[in-house]
Amino acid sequence: MQSIDFPFDKFNFNSDSILEGLPESDLILLNKNRVTHQYKKGEILFREGSYPTGIYYIKKGKVKKYKTDKDGREQIFYVCRKGELFGYHALISDEKYSDTTATLEESTITFISKDDFLKAIQLSPILSNRLLKCMSHEFGVLVNGLAVFAQRTVRERLALSLILLRDKYKKENQDKKPVELDLSRDDLAKFVGTARETLVRLLHDFKEDGLIEINGRKIILKKPLELSKIANLY
């Protein structure tokens, strides 16, 4: 298997770092009223334009964050995996959600109420500093994403997307097994930012060139290094 040296941090939020190893006292505050809930695939956690009531933590599963335009076209701009926190921006800025978030697969998600979270921020400089650091990092990630959409071709974006998603679909303790991307062509197209038809054709080109393997809906990267060259970022 090709190993690959890729700057994932330029494209990944780092929200795991917010709660990880937080002092017990802070965790107690946050966990006071937390509720954990099981979601089926495709369930919406919050919608763009609605008001936040709390934040979410993924114990198991994955969610997609996306925008829907006037004509109903969906653009996925981020996929959160296990361990990530989401939904805190709108809450902190006291605004409506700027995106919609839905599960990509069956997921277990913990909800922390608005009051608990805001109180914890006020009382814990550690938490507040971590949020500052995390959101500063996110700024760069989104700017990089924006540049990709503005400057790269669909083919380049697909190559990049496959690399980024492989990282998301990596399972722990399964370093031996190849990573299988398990999402619909539709969702992949919405992540890449293209039409499903175009996506399908490009996938077959990549397969022809031996860069990927396709098993039904599942995609396995055979030559991530070549793909990163096609992404043409650096």
Partner DNA sequence: GGTAAAATGTGACATAAGTCACATTTTTAG
Partner DNA sequence: CTAAAAATGTGACTTATGTCACATTTTACC
Which stretches of the chain bind a copy of itself, using CB under 8 A? 10, 67, 69-70, 73, 75, 77, 88-95, 98-99, 121, 125, 128-129, 131-140, 142-147, 149-152, 193, 232-234
184 contacts DNA (rule: CB under 7 A):
yes
Among 198, 220, 222, 225, binds DNA (CB under 7 A): 198
Interface pick for DNA out of 112, 194, 206, 230 (rule CB under 7 A): 194
| Closer CB to a copy of itself, 70 or 176, in the complex | 70
Q: Does 67 bind DNA (CB under 7 A)?
A: no
For residue 125, the minimal CB distance to a copy of itself (Å) is 8
HEC readout, the chain: CCCCCCCHHHCCCCCHHHHCCCCHHHHHHHHCCCEEEEECCCCEEECCCCCCCEEEEEEECEEEEEEECCCCCEEEEEEEECCCEECHHHHHHCCCCCCEEEECCCEEEEEEEHHHHHHHHHHCHHHHHHHHHHHHHHHHHHHHHHHHHHHCCHHHHHHHHHHHHHHHHCCCCCCCCCCEECCCHHHHHHHHCCCHHHHHHHHHHHHHCCCEEEECCEEEECCHHHHHHHHCCC
Decide which of DNA, a copy of itself, none touches 200; Cβ closer than 5 to 8 Å per partner kind. DNA
Q: Does 170 bind DNA (CB under 7 A)?
A: no
82-90, 107-115, 153-161, 220-228 -> range binding DNA (CB under 7 A): 153-161
204 binds, among DNA, a copy of itself, none (CB under 5 to 8 A by kind): DNA
List interacting residues with DNA (CB under 7 A).
153-155, 184-186, 193-198, 200-201, 203-204, 214, 216-217
